[in-house]
């Protein structure tokens, strides 16, 4: 009798654990956040955002000359991405949209993102295209100084590569402030959550998996 | 045997942890459609008590309450609502709306506590069925430090806005308050991300339903700005929250800004000239506006 009760108790406890583990988080569509845009990816191809339809997208803003939050965010996204199985990774696109498309060419973005994960996709384009993407996600960025700063004075993950060494010596970049939010977009292109590097990675990856399985 | 008892208690505790989820879902609350109509009616009630030189028309208050309304001073210049409290009462579909207001009149100031009882009919429309009144003659009031003037037009803007919210949520009966019949051809432009809708009001509302199919509008901010005193044109700037489902029955939340340009006609009607709507980033997190 005792064994039977213990078995029932164990099953009940385990089922509750399963309920907790498989808890579906409420991820409503955030109306008006995100949408369709055209830009250039880090392979130099013109892309439409809807070409990522069918994949879950994680999108962040930044720029390659950023010395603080961008490397930190990308390090976080690398760890987040590593929490997914390779099968899940194939269903996710990690997009890094530069707010400095003038400096961040597709090649430079590709080299920069390669330090974190070669699957990560850089998004650039014209300033108008960048401003449009920023406005779609209701993000913000501001140029911090009118004059460029010699890049040798900026701590950077990836210096820009030049054919001519003198060009590298004269290289300057502009500094920006920008939104730190990370947007989670579902397979239909709807933004479903706004996160940041303070979100526990297990919590964030669970949301990504939930959207993959929708 | 003691072990079995302990195990059974543990099992009960374990099960009890799941109960509050269901208890929460049974919580009774008034539907925002009815709430918006209720508040619109209250705005008419208070606005129409204020003496105004300009023509400000409010929805009609039925004669049933004429004797009640004689209890207010006749020379009211402003009414400042200080506190409100809405609670369901025992009788089915009945709610009590307590409003505490500071009345400014020629003789001074007084606080009046009104207690409105609303009955919500089968169509979800609330009707005032009873009112009780508590008049505090001797009150000491600290000076109002805000620049806001709580005059008739202040109440008209709110009467109109709450009625408009109820109309957007599908309360057809409220359309006389906002004169929807006069809106034919009024342009209503909406930007939802990269989607732009720009049609006359009725058509835009139909297209909008694909995105915001069934849900509730709640007013968060309201501002009435004079655009041109000569032509009597104003901009009604509203910020709303919306929660519901889209046409595919997916949950949606929205923070909506509407800019309604309107003209106050000589006969007091509010003629809408245009509506522009933009969906903003909902207030979700403390870091969403953070820049680094």
Domain regions of chain A by residue span: 27-212
Q: Is residue B172 part of a domain?
A: no
CATH number for the domain harbouring residue B57: 3.10.450
Task: Render pLDDT for B204-259 as a digit per residue (tens, 0 to 9).
Answer: 999 999 999 999 999 999 999 999 999 999 999 999 999 999 999 999 999 999 99
Looking at B133, B151, B169, the residue that finishes a domain is B151
> For position A8, what pLDDT does the model report?
45
Whether B15 has a pLDDT exceeding 70, the answer reads no
B247 and B197 housed in the same domain: yes
Average pLDDT over residues B68-83: 92
Average pLDDT over residues A32-48: 97
CATH number for the domain harbouring residue B234: 3.10.450.50
Whether B6 has a pLDDT exceeding 60, the answer reads no
Looking at B131, B151, B171, the residue that finishes a domain is B151
B37 and B87 housed in the same domain: yes
Going by pLDDT thresholds of 50, 70 and 90, the confidence category of residue B171 is very high
Dist. CA B21–CA A7, nearest whole Å: 26
B200 and B102 housed in the same domain: no
Dist. CA B72–CA B69, nearest whole Å: 6
Contact A180 B193 (CB under 8 A): no
Q: Is residue B48 part of a domain?
A: yes
Going by pLDDT thresholds of 50, 70 and 90, the confidence category of residue B137 is low
B117 and B193 housed in the same domain: no
Going by pLDDT thresholds of 50, 70 and 90, the confidence category of residue B21 is very low
Beta strand ranges found along chain B (DSSP E): 76-88, 94-105, 108-120, 126-136, 187-192, 195-200, 214-228, 233-245, 251-264, 270-280
Contact A32 B291 (CB under 8 A): no
Looking at per-residue confidence, does A94 or A13 come out higher?
A94
**Structure tokens that stand for A61 in this block:** 């803003």
Contact A30 B282 (CB under 8 A): yes
> For position B14, what pLDDT does the model report?
40
Strand partners, B260: B236, B275
Whether B22 has a pLDDT exceeding 70, the answer reads no
Q: Is residue B47 part of a domain?
A: yes
Q: Is residue B174 part of a domain?
A: no
- The whole-angstrom distance between A80's CA and the closest CA on chain B is 19
| Domain A27-212 bears CATH identifier 3.40.30.10 | yes
Average pLDDT over residues B19-24: 30
Dist. CA B246–CA B261, nearest whole Å: 27
Residue numbers of the domain that contains B277: 179-283
> For position B140, what pLDDT does the model report?
57
CA-based R_g, chain A, Å: 21
Burial of A42 per CB tally in 10 Å (0-12, 13-18, 19+): buried
**Structure tokens that stand for B85 in this block:** 């409290």
Looking at per-residue confidence, does B173 or A169 come out higher?
B173
From chain A, pick out residues whose CB is under 8 angstroms from the CB of B18. 16, 19
Beta strand ranges found along chain A (DSSP E): 29-30, 38-41, 46-48, 56-62, 92-98, 121-124, 141-143, 149-150, 172-173, 176-178, 182-185, 191-195
> For position B141, what pLDDT does the model report?
59
Instruction: Give chain B's domain count.
Output: 2
Average pLDDT over all residues of chain B: 86
Which among A191, A178, A177, A162 is positioned nearest to A34, based on CA atoms? A191
Looking at B151, B167, B202, the residue that finishes a domain is B151
> For position A9, what pLDDT does the model report?
46
> For position A207, what pLDDT does the model report?
98
> For position A139, what pLDDT does the model report?
97
């Amino acid at each position: 009798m005792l064994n039977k009760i213990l078995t029932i108790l164990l099953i009940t406890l385990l089922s509750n654990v399963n309920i907790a583990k498989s808890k579906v988080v409420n991820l409503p569509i955030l109306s008006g956040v995100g949408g369709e845009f055209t830009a250039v990816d880090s392979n130099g191809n013109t892309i439409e955002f809807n070409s990522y339809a069918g994949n879950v997208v994680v999108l962040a803003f930044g720029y390659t000359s950023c010395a603080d939050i961008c490397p930190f965010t990308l390090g976080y996204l690398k760890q987040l991405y590593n929490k997914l199985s390779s099968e899940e990774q194939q269903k996710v696109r990690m997009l890094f949209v530069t707010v400095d498309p003038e400096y961040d060419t597709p090649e430079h973005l590709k080299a920069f993102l390669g330090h974190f994960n070669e699957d990560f996709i850089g998004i650039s384009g014209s300033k108008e295209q960048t401003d449009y993407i920023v406005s779609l996600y209701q993000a913000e960025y501001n140029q911090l100084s009118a004059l460029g700063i010699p890049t040798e004075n900026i701590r950077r993950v990836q210096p820009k590569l030049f054919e001519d060494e003198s060009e590298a010596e004269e290289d300057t970049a502009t500094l920006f402030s920008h939104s730190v939010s990370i947007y989670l977009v579902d397979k239909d292109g709807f933004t479903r959550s706004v996160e940041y590097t303070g979100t526990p990675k297990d919590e964030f990856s669970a949301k990504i998996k939930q959207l993959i399985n929708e | 045997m003691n072990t079995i008892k302990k195990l059974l208690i543990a099992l009960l505790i374990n099960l009890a942890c799941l109960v509050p989820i269901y208890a929460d879902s049974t919580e009774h609350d008034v539907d925002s459609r009815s709430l918006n109509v209720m508040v619109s009616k209250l705005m008419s009630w208070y606005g129409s008590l204020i003496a105004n030189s300009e023509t400000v028309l409010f929805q009609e208050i039925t004669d049933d309450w004429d004797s009640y309304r004689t209890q207010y001073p006749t020379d009211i210049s402003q009414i400042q609502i200080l506190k409100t409290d809405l609670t369901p009462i025992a009788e089915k579909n009945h709610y009590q709306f307590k409003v505490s207001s500071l009345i400014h009149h020629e003789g001074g100031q007084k606080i009046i506590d009104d207690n409105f009882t609303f009955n919500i009919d089968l169509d979800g429309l609330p009707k005032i069925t009873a009112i009780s009144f508590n008049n505090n003659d001797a009150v000491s009031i600290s000076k109002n430090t805000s620049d806001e003037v709580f005059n008739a037009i202040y109440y008209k803007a709110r009467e109109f806005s709450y009625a408009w919210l109820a109309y957007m949520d599908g309360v057809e009966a409220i359309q006389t308050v906002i004169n929807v019949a006069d809106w034919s051809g009024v342009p209503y432009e909406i930007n939802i991300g990269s989607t732009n809708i720009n049609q006359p009001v009725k058509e835009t509302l139909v297209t909008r339903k694909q995105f915001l199919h069934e849900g509730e509008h709640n007013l968060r901010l309201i501002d009435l700005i004079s655009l041109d005193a000569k032509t009597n044109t104003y901009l009604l700037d509203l910020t709303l929250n919306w929660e519901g489902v889209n046409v595919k029955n997916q949950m949606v939340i929205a923070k909506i800004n509407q800019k309604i340009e309107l003209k106050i006609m000589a006969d007091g009607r509010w003629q809408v000239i245009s509506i522009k709507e933009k969906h903003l980033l909902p207030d979700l997190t403390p870091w969403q506006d953070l820049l680094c």
